[in-house]
Structure 1
Amino acid sequence: MNTNPDNDTDLRRKINSETARMPWAELEKHFAQGSVVFVSPDLDLIDVAVRISHDDKDSISSWMGAGKIGKVTDEQAQAWTEGQALLWTSVVHPFILVQQEKAKLN
C-alpha cells in the first residue's frame, strides 16, 4: 500500500470526488459534536485531507501550531451562521474538514 501522502493519486482522486460545498447550517450538528475542523484558505483542502488520512503528524502539528487548521471555534460558527456561509467540505473520519472559499482575484 502506498503511504506517501505526496504520491497518493488514488486517494487524492477519491477525496476530491467526495469534496462538496455545504451550507454551514447542515454542519452545525457536527460542530456541536466537536468533529468539524477548519482549514485555512491558504492551504489546499485535498492535501490536508490526504495528510490527515495518512496521520502525517509533522504536517498536522505544523499547521495547528500556525493556526492554519483546528477545531472550529464558537466565533467562527457564529459568523458562519450569521453569514449563511457555504463552505467546502471533505470528510476524513472522524472529522469533517471545512474551508471558506478562497477570495476571488479580479
Structure 2
Amino acid sequence: MTQSLVAGLEPPYYTAVFTSVRADDPEGYAETSARMQEIVRELPGFLGYETARTPGGIGITVAYFRDLDSLGVWQHNAEHQAAKRHGRAHWYDRYSVHIGKVERSYSFERA
C-alpha cells in the first residue's frame, strides 16, 4: 500500500482505477507488483499512483497519467500484458478498470 497521497495535479489528466478481489498474498504477486511499479514509474507521462487493500482482499489502485497516449503505453506494455494474463489465471477472483479524465483537482495537507 502507498503511504502517501498524490497531491493535486494540474488538469486535465487521466486516471486508471483498478479495483480487484484476490486472496491475501498469492504466490509471486508481490514480486510482480514491484516490477510493474518499476516499469510504470519510468514511463513518460506517468504522474503517480495510490493503492489500498482491505483485510478481506478488496484492492483499489488509482494511477495518474498526463494524457491518453501515456496511459496507452502502459496498457500495451508487454510485461504489463503478461502480468494481467497471469493475474486473471492465478490471482484475481474479479477486477474492473475505469478510465477517467480529471478536470478539477486539489489537495490539502495539515502542516
> TM-score scaled to structure 2, two decimals?
0.29
Structure possessing the higher relative contact order (Cα contacts under 8 Å, 6 or more residues apart)? 2
Larger helix percent: 1
Larger strand percent: 2
